[in-house]
Amino acid sequence: MDNGLTTFLKNLRLETVTLEGKIELGKDVYVIRLARRQSFLPGQVVGLSLGGLPPRLYSIASGPDDPYIELLFNIKPDGLLTPRLASLKPGDALSVSAPFGAFLGDQKPAWWIAAGTGIAPYRAMMRAGLGHNKMLIHGGRTADSFYFENEMLSAFGERYVRCCSQESGPGLYSGRLTSWLKEQPQIDPTLLYYLCGSAEMVVEVRDILISKGVPIEHVMSEIYF
């Protein structure tokens, strides 16, 4: 992390909230539910902390009309926050910032492209009613990596592509999402392309889109680090 971001995170104002619920979606992947204190725009993030750690950022995965906030995270084995988050129980306290961020969904036609937990902001956008003219492309290693799969299948149907790099299964494209993108004969340069996930994925996907004629101004990125 650069010093500017470290300072920004340290200075985030946090409020204490109570954990309302926690669901294990897959191995080492959880959704936690918190009381919603403020309104937010789909795609925004909150800062989250425990025990005085500098906050980490998490995309809000629930919709703006849901009466709670949900966050999706995976455990980083050597991480400082996520192993502790995963061991919280309903009723435990944690510290959360107000929502902020500029990776915002809108009504324009777009492709939403995610790797791993990068699906989170698109679930918020979908639950806000922005999914009707979108393609959703999600990359994961294993067949259980497609978090919120049932909801996404019913919302997107044929417009939902699951790219699975290490397993095969019904309805899954076998391979990385970058391979799927490279195989597309045409990519519409007039659409908007949202990318969310690791820096490696975002850079690789951005380069593929640009090589296929998409103007850089049509590529919006949210990098998880």
Ligand X SMILES: Cc1cc2nc3c(=O)[nH]c(=O)nc-3n(C[C@H](O)[C@H](O)[C@H](O)COP(=O)(O)OP(=O)(O)OC[C@H]3O[C@@H](n4cnc5c(N)ncnc54)[C@H](O)[C@@H]3O)c2cc1C
Half-sphere exposure of 163 (CA within 13 A, CB side): 18
Show contacts with ligand X in window 40-79 (CB under 6 A).
45, 56-59, 72-74, 76, 78-79
Tell me the CA distances in angstroms from 23 to 20, 32, 45, 47, 219, one per residue in order. 11, 6, 20, 20, 32
Q: Does 132 bind ligand X (CB under 6 A)?
A: no
Q: Does 160 bind ligand X (CB under 6 A)?
A: no
Half-sphere exposure of 34 (CA within 13 A, CB side): 27
Q: Which of 34, 81, 214, 219 binds ligand X (CB under 6 A)?
A: 81
Identity of the residue, 61 or 135, whose beta carbon is nearer to ligand X in the bound complex: 61
Identity of the residue, 80 or 93, whose beta carbon is nearer to ligand X in the bound complex: 80
Identity of the residue, 82 or 165, whose beta carbon is nearer to ligand X in the bound complex: 82
Q: How far is the CB of 1 from ligand X (least distance, A)?
A: 8
Q: Are 166 and 142 in contact (CB under 8 A)?
A: yes
Binding region for ligand X (CB under 6 A): 45, 56-59, 72-74, 76, 78-82, 117, 120, 222, 224-225
